[in-house]
Structure 1
Amino acid sequence: MPLPWRRLRVTTPHRFLTAARQIRPLHARPPPILLALQRARLASVGRVQNRGKKTKASVKLDDLPQGVIPLEPLPLENDVKKPLPQVVRQARSNMQRFENCVVLTRVGGFYELYFEHADEFAPLLNIKRAIRLFGPRDNPVEVPMAGFPFFQLDRYLKILVQDLNRYVAIAEEFPNDKAGLPGQLMHNRRVARIITPGTLIDENFMDPFTNNYVLAIHVEDSVQESRHPGNSSISIGLAWMDLSTGQFFTQYTDLSDLPSYLARIGPREIVLDEDLQTSKDHGIFSVLAEDRHLITYSSPSEVQAVSDWAPMLESPVSPKLEKTFTAEEIAAGSSLLQYIKARLQGSKMKLQPPTRQLDVMGIDKNTLRALEIKKTMRDDLFTGSLLHIIRRTVTKGGARLLDNWLSSPSTSEDVINSRLDLVAFMLVDELLRERVMILLRRCHDSHRLLQKFAFGRGDADDLLALKSTVYATQELVATLEQDSEGETCIHAMIARINLDGPNALAQRIKDAVDEEGLVQQHRLEDGEAGEMQALAQAVVSSEGSIEDTNILPKGARKKKPTGLREYYSDDSDVWIMKSGASPTLTGLHGELAALAIEKEDLGKDLKNRLGAESLTLRFTPGMGHICHVKGKDMKLNLSDVRNVGSSKSTRSFHQPEWTKLGQRIDQCRIHIRAEEQRVFQSLREEVILNIIKLRRNAAVLDELDIACSFATLAEEKKWTRPTLNKTCAHRIVGGRHPTVEGGLEEEGRSFITNDCFVGDVQRTWLITGPNMAGKSTFLRQNALITILAQVGSYVPAEYAEIGIVDQMFSRVGSADNLYRDQSTFMVEMLETASILKQATPRSFVIMDEIGRGTTPEDGTAVAFACLHHLYYVNQCRTLFATHFHDLTDMVTKEEMEGVGFYCTNVVEDEKGNGFMYDHRLKEGVNKRSHALKVAKLAGLPDEAIAVARKVLDGHVRSV
């Protein structure tokens, strides 16, 4: 919570600047007058030659290079020859030290870009660029500059970091111990944090519904083997982290499984050892190149023992768990922690201890895309995806957890059934579910709030959010205990919630933080915009140049500087801590109240002694504590006072008694602010002491949120509870596609259900039928039903009994990758090869139209080879759709008894003029694809259709 800077009592602008900097606010937000004065002082350092017009980027973001900036900074020696202000020298020094970053330098109330950074990024950020001249008039140094107000930092970080994938170094102002010496600035400006796409903490532009992971990959040192892309046995250690929540994971894998992990984690940034830069033919690059991952190369780190990670963790890793980490995981974890530490420039943090995501289904990126689990395949949109259809969560943490669950469904029968039990309980008691969801809506995003406190960033609003969450959790526990009636699943959830410490913390926050004062403070802040514009205009008009008016927001240039008296009123103190928050505060507020009475008495006494009825006691930044009179009282003969200002209708003067009393009032207010800061800091420390309990409680709330979400979904959609077992079979009756069904319902149509009994007698289903008759939909719906079941959700079917699947594979649809010189058929074969190499007897594979990118003869051969391999070698459950009808004869000839034949069809009217699709799957073979019917529907000319029909009927002879 910012201190009320407007109530600092000093007599000159310079003293105002000095006094304001001596107190650190709860957020680093200076007062409007300080912003304006500092900006005006900077303007007076140099002379503006050309500020430039507002510009817009003329290129698309996707066309720009990503990652580290390719700029070559000018050498410092070129600048030393000419006299430059120290602010500019500090900025240049930071640009050279962090040459791969865009450097934003804090200067008063603005963040500035200099030199080539201003030239490069001012157009992209759509901000003004100026050229300032320094040095002698006959041979000045030109310095390009651009800047924006500090409160717009998130807006421009979003462009730089999220849209352009740039690394940004933030150079903040720190008090200079040598500020009193000649030529020394009041502040040193050093980089306090480096922001990259994977190291966001609490930026407002972060997606609240998705984790923001940075992933470190450590590759074993067998360099010769790793140079062969086909070598999939390379050992790899993974470590990934979300700095905004403190979640930290590690995993051991090999190169062949890396794409699956990348799809599951979805990292915004990948950290590799810089030694790999010299090995561009390393097999890992063929994997990472698929999705244009943002790669950061970090200097090799010293591999630390897991016990050495403790200073950065909220609690040490247990010795039992420490022994389970592999050398590759430890190396990746050490590299990640070193990278994070460098980016945070030594900031303290409390991360969660590293854990593994064990017992989860493997889903590669092609399957995630083909099944449209998180985004649609055609438009890459969230709307229309499986996640969009099923998400009914009411908390941000619950939404992120659901996102993670969909990427990594569980393979543990106990975990799945415990989730389903909770959903079943919530589904039965609708009234309880509604009460739980109401209480969950009162809970805030605890994971990210707590991480802000772990970084020392939490403010008074965050404290109130934590208090509200703890009280809502209390009511939630009481509600569940009252209505659970011995339900084991509910008691297990309640047992995981620990409110002993959090209850005391919430009570202390309630007793300390003044919510009403905080609301008033926010109202004052919301009203500061106009005052800031007016104050800045006043200072720019008096101290700055004409061009400096360009820095003001629109409307400020016409606004007159009014409201100083109201802005610095003595009677509008707003405090964020209650007077009883500490004994010291109680005493100080009593003293301030007594001083207020003394001020009132002094004002009355001075009116009587001086005979001035209009006299008021005031404070202004420029004149300090003054007595103010107006009208006829201006003509009073006051010999013992010193006039400091007058106008046609008013007069201001210093009066010793008021000056001394005002200084006492100022001192008391400063002491109150300092004590508020101390109380606030102690609350921050108490949050850290309870951070483990609060995080564990938040995890339970997320799971309850998902359970309520699934129950609501099941009730809306009439879904049923699946049965999970350890067999290798699917028994689905009346299955439906969750997203297609919703689209049909919007059009007033019904979905045709289908059964699927694959894995018992028939391990493979070979499906034939016409185009657009629903083969692909059938394949996808059974894959989605499987994923939903293993996530712990009810499923769109009348009955579902599913043997737990270890890996889900999909070969549906394809696109070329001409950038990597890969045709559609090549992409299809690469994906198919990956499936044939990795699928196990417990996997589930759906394949659609294998071999269609080449000649019919070659396509048939490839399709049969894949089917044969899946049947005899992988021995997994497979749904195989094809238009190569010869496959059915080849399977029969091969005597593959475990392959079942199923088909869809079209139904034609008696006259043959019309037809409709029969989407219901039936046993048998359909050797007609009815392609001409589809061609006719698409609008091919009748003449072309007639020729095609003759070809099919064999009526065209060779010439």
Structure 2
Amino acid sequence: MRILSRFVIFRLGARGYANVVETYAPQTVLKKIRRIQLQPETPIECPDKVEILCEKKTDSKRVSLVLEQYRELQLKYPKHIILMQVGDFFEIFDNAAKNVSQVLDIGLCESRYGTTMTGFPLRTMDTYLDRLVRAGSSLVLVEQQEARPPNTAITRRVTRIITPGTITEENLLDSGTNNFMLSVEESADGYGLAWIDLSTGYFRILEIEGKELYNELVRINPIEIISAPNLWKLEEMDRFVKNHRAVLSDLEFPKDSAAFVKLFGSDFNDTTFTASELAAGLRLLNYVTATQMEKRPYIECPQRHSQQDSVRLDAAALRALEILRNNSTNTKENSLLDVIDETCTAAGSRLLIQRLQTPLLKMAEIDRRLDQLALFYEREELLTDIRSFLKKCKDLERCFQRLALNRSTGGPRDMQAIQQTLKQACEIQQRLCAVDALLAADLGHRIDSCLQLIDELERAIVDSPPSKASDGSLIRTGYSAALDELRGESVSLESRCAALVEQYRKETINRKTLGWFVEVNRSEGKLESDRFVLDGQIDKKYRYRTDELNGLNRDFAMGGEEILKEEMRIYEELRGKVIGAGDKIMATARTLAELDVIASNALLAKKRGFTRPLLKDNFEFTVENGRHPVVEHKHADVGRSFVHNSCDLGPSKRFALVTGPNMGGKSTFLRQNALIAIMAQCGMYVPADRAVLGLVDAVYTRIGASDDLSRDRSTFMVEMIETANILNQASPQSLVIMDEVGRGTAAKEGYSLAWGICKYLYSKGCRTLFATHYSDLSKLVTTFPHSQCLMSAARLDADGLYFLHQIFKGVATKSHAIEIAKLAGMPKEVLIYALEVGAIGESEKPGESGGSRVS
């Protein structure tokens, strides 16, 4: 029992626990005291097991303890926000309080310690945590310890360090995107990289050359980077952080050189990794240990990401081809990913992104994926069944990880989600194994159904479990005899209480009984019975207790505590069994994600009329009636048809010069062929009637115009740097698309550069699509024995300019610049001035007979 120094008005619940209604600060307490007609020194007793802590502002010892710990932690974590639990609130003090109040848009006040403070209730933690993390903040969570001896000081400790890369909460993550944190270690010739998605346990390691750092950062796209501070000054690192809003972490943490062995045991072989790869991996594992404290997440044994096994797509290619994001809004909408993603699960969506970023180079693996896709494409009933099962699956990887980390919210529900998803995996396994096809059986056998675990979880967990295990009522009746016995005793107490209430009603002439009290209106007078002891006066009512009610209160509270204790014991036992099956569960999760991507690609191919490409280990490149998957999709949305075009970049025609007016479809033609090559090597069907493609080892692009003023680079300089990178890295097996290189300078110099670039690319032997307005380049290019000239055409007649969007053989001699400017709404005077400049104006006008010309 505690004497309250701060008055709390509470209402008793059915189980004897107090539900706080209002709390009052000292400056307003006298007004409330008068209203409830109690004296300030009158003690208010709380029921057993209910304790409401209030700290006096004048208690200098308490003040110094809380602030001393807070300020010690602030010195230890100077770039983190300290969230200190004080009772039912998280509180922030001093200057940090001002910053947090601005981010969260909550008020500032003077704390009872005489310092500036802000804060929020524990129950709103998820809401405010979301906003703080999205603002790029890192947090130190300091929680009160629940179990402590009576009349002892409250103890608090750091339970978790929350950073953008260590988030696992469902509501704080993008379900379809990995949340990577990455470590960087310098080596003699480059850098060792290691990256983990803590929410799924995905772990990869790689060593790269120094020049590859920015491209790899863009591909991996980490939200948080852990490295030595001296690496922050690297141009590539600074550029990535600014462009992608990543967070650099400098948290000091213990270095444990045995982290790999402790976590992975004999499964880990350090001889397969370089020194810089191991150093990066160790830094990352130690960081995870430091931020998660004593909790141990599931992390898969690290694998090396092999650059030799995948097509090179640098940052420029990912951006120019709009594979994951569009260039207008930098969002998924209207990107390649957006229009081809038919996945049913979050894990499937994440795997699809990984595949789009790393198309395959191994023919056998590409054919395996295409064979799997064909199995679903040709068996519509199988495709429908598997997708119906997948739609019922939860995010198995992230549910398991939250359970492994024993997060405070979601535990019982995550456990139930794991059980339900494993049950769907069993259905999928049976359906696949019933198919008369070796591929289907192979996929089915990779699923570990964990039948015994499914059965036990189904028998144990109620249909609608609470979000927190500590809330209780999560174990089914009939699962545990001991728990059922405790619940039976609780029911007996409730029956006794009901009988006692009925007796009191008769004795008090049907006056109201409230919880563990008997209330009587003051107008009716006091009860004249020694059995009813006056407990207090609330508003216009007398409140009485009895010995019987007090006894039931104690028994009920103790029984409720024992029930909760037994439920928590069972829950932890079940959690241990789930974690023990972690490798099987996560392997099943990966197989379900793979199945989802296969089924998604099959459905996409059927809906959009895509065909299976024929991949060869040579230099062919033949696409018949190819389409741009994004543009075609957007045209269909508005009822327009897409104009398909063919492309042949085989050995005898490996260099193509493409001319034609702006808006004529040159850029679309270039991009669609690059996307077809990428989709094919991802193991997907492609938007074409037929495609025979020799493998490409890289796709290079120089498309669009942008400057980089922060690094003193003009638009032309950026164009030249990107072009130089392509010329220095492209191989005969590469696919290169160049769009209007040389346009950003004087015409003569631009033409000379364009010619030099054409000649150099041709000498490299790359398959190349080179779009330009320098039509005179055709005279030089035609001297190449393995080249061709293509053109996008437009028709100009009395009604104006009409774009055909068709690619023909030949050279376009007109750009129709003035007519396009007219379509854009250019002032009439400007057009007249342009026409007056020279013969170009006369040649652009339609013939006097009103006929039309195609150029």
Q: TM-score range by the shorter chain?
A: 0.7 to 0.9
1:446-491 CA deviation, whole Å, 9 max, x = no partner? Answer: 1110110121125111111111111111122222233x22x22211
**Fraction of identical pairs, as percent:** 33
- Residue aligning to 2:44: none
**Gaps spanning 5+ residues in structure 1: where?**
1-9, 18-29, 45-79, 135-141, 223-233, 526-573, 620-624
1:801 CA displacement: 1.6
* Residue 614 (structure 1) aligned with residue 566 (structure 2): no
Distance 2:236 2:505 in 1: 88
Contact 2:217–2:240 under 8 Å retained in 1: no
* Residue 814 (structure 1) aligned with residue 767 (structure 2): no
- Residue aligning to 1:876: 766
- Residue aligning to 2:46: none
Q: 1:905 aligns with which of 773, 777, 793?
A: 793
Q: Structure 1 pair 151/771, CA: closer, same or farther in 2 (3 Å)?
A: same
1:904-933 CA deviation, whole Å, 9 max, x = no partner? Answer: 222233xx5533223222222223222222
* Residue 235 (structure 1) aligned with residue 190 (structure 2): yes
- Residue aligning to 2:260: 309
- Residue aligning to 2:54: none
* Residue 272 (structure 1) aligned with residue 227 (structure 2): yes
SS across alignment from 1:193:
strand
SS across alignment from 1:870:
helix
Mean Cα deviation higher: 194-203 or 364-373: 194-203
- Residue aligning to 1:724: 615
SS across alignment from 1:240:
strand
- Residue aligning to 1:472: 424
1:627-678 CA deviation, whole Å, 9 max, x = no partner? Answer: 5567999655322543213569854433333433432232222111100000
1:177 CA displacement: 5.3
- Residue aligning to 1:260: 215
1:375 CA displacement: 1.4
Q: TM-score, normalised by structure 1?
A: 0.78
Larger RCO (alpha carbons 8 Å, 6+ apart):
1
SS across alignment from 2:693:
strand
**Partner AA of 2:171 in structure 1:** N
Distance 1:511 1:779 in 2: 58
Mean Cα deviation higher: 734-743 or 92-101: 92-101
- Residue aligning to 2:171: 204
Contact 2:487–2:563 under 8 Å retained in 1: yes
Distance 1:288 1:635 in 2: 73
1:753-807 CA deviation, whole Å, 9 max, x = no partner? Answer: 1111113212211111222211111000001111211222211100012222222
1:679 CA displacement: 0.3
Distance 1:518 1:169 in 2: 26
* Residue 588 (structure 1) aligned with residue 486 (structure 2): yes
1:680 CA displacement: 0.5
Q: Structure 1 pair 194/635, CA: closer, same or farther in 2 (3 Å)?
A: closer
- Residue aligning to 1:456: 406
Q: Structure 1 pair 40/241, CA: closer, same or farther in 2 (3 Å)?
A: farther
1:693 CA displacement: 0.9
Q: Structure 1 pair 672/899, CA: closer, same or farther in 2 (3 Å)?
A: same
- Residue aligning to 1:570: none
- Residue aligning to 2:138: 167
1:891 CA displacement: 2.8
Q: 2:287 aligns with which of 318, 326, 339?
A: 339
1:271 CA displacement: 1.6
Distance 2:519 2:245 in 1: 68
Q: Structure 1 pair 761/178, CA: closer, same or farther in 2 (3 Å)?
A: same
**Partner AA of 2:267 in structure 1:** S
Contact 1:260–1:362 under 8 Å retained in 2: no
Contact 1:202–1:452 under 8 Å retained in 2: yes
- Residue aligning to 2:330: 380
Contact 2:791–2:807 under 8 Å retained in 1: yes
Distance 2:70 2:759 in 1: 66
Q: Root-mean-square deviation (CA), in Å?
A: 3.4
Q: 1:888 aligns with which of 778, 783, 788?
A: 778
Mean Cα deviation higher: 153-162 or 286-295: 286-295
SS across alignment from 1:204:
helix
* Residue 576 (structure 1) aligned with residue 576 (structure 2): no
Contact 2:656–2:790 under 8 Å retained in 1: yes
**Partner AA of 1:116 in structure 2:** N
Contact 2:373–2:599 under 8 Å retained in 1: yes
Q: 1:246 aligns with which of 201, 209, 221?
A: 201
1:416-441 CA deviation, whole Å, 9 max, x = no partner? Answer: 22222222222223233222222111
1:937 CA displacement: 2.1
Distance 2:767 2:272 in 1: 33
Distance 2:667 2:236 in 1: 33
* Residue 656 (structure 1) aligned with residue 547 (structure 2): yes
Contact 2:446–2:588 under 8 Å retained in 1: yes
1:923-953 CA deviation, whole Å, 9 max, x = no partner? Answer: 2222322222222322334554344345442
Within 5 A, what are the aligned runs for 1:826-905? 826-873=717-764, 875-892=765-782, 895-905=783-793
1:510-538 CA deviation, whole Å, 9 max, x = no partner? Answer: 2112225759x99x99xxxxxxxxxxxxx
Distance 1:592 1:942 in 2: 89
Q: Structure 1 pair 263/469, CA: closer, same or farther in 2 (3 Å)?
A: same
Q: Structure 1 pair 291/836, CA: closer, same or farther in 2 (3 Å)?
A: farther
* Number of positions where the alignment pairs a residue of Structure 1 with one of Structure 2: 803
Q: 2:126 aligns with which of 154, 159, 164?
A: 154
* Residue 296 (structure 1) aligned with residue 249 (structure 2): yes
**Partner AA of 1:146 in structure 2:** T
**Gaps spanning 5+ residues in structure 2: where?**
9-15, 30-58, 843-855
1:100 CA displacement: 0.8
Q: Structure 1 pair 31/416, CA: closer, same or farther in 2 (3 Å)?
A: farther
Distance 2:26 2:112 in 1: 15
Contact 1:176–1:187 under 8 Å retained in 2: no
**Partner AA of 1:443 in structure 2:** C
Distance 2:656 2:265 in 1: 51
**Partner AA of 1:237 in structure 2:** G
1:880 CA displacement: 0.8
**Partner AA of 1:236 in structure 2:** Y
- Residue aligning to 1:805: 696
* Residue 101 (structure 1) aligned with residue 58 (structure 2): no
Q: 2:806 aligns with which of 905, 910, 920?
A: 920
1:815 CA displacement: 0.6
- Residue aligning to 2:831: 945
- Residue aligning to 2:442: 492
SS across alignment from 1:260:
helix
Distance 2:28 2:299 in 1: 43
1:152 CA displacement: 2.6
1:121-149 CA deviation, whole Å, 9 max, x = no partner? Answer: 31232111112465xxxxxxx41111122
**Partner AA of 1:187 in structure 2:** T
SS across alignment from 2:585:
helix
Distance 2:365 2:302 in 1: 20
- Residue aligning to 1:430: 380
Distance 2:254 2:627 in 1: 51
Q: 1:754 aligns with which of 633, 636, 645?
A: 645
Contact 1:788–1:795 under 8 Å retained in 2: yes
Contact 1:275–1:300 under 8 Å retained in 2: no
Distance 1:513 1:786 in 2: 49
1:272 CA displacement: 1.6
SS across alignment from 1:846:
strand
Q: Structure 1 pair 284/504, CA: closer, same or farther in 2 (3 Å)?
A: same
Q: TM-score, normalised by structure 2?
A: 0.87
Q: Structure 1 pair 491/31, CA: closer, same or farther in 2 (3 Å)?
A: farther
Distance 2:17 2:622 in 1: 68
- Residue aligning to 1:323: 271
1:365-386 CA deviation, whole Å, 9 max, x = no partner? Answer: 1111111111111222321111
SS across alignment from 2:624:
strand
Q: Structure 1 pair 575/942, CA: closer, same or farther in 2 (3 Å)?
A: closer
SS across alignment from 1:777:
helix
Distance 1:15 1:671 in 2: 30
Distance 1:407 1:376 in 2: 15
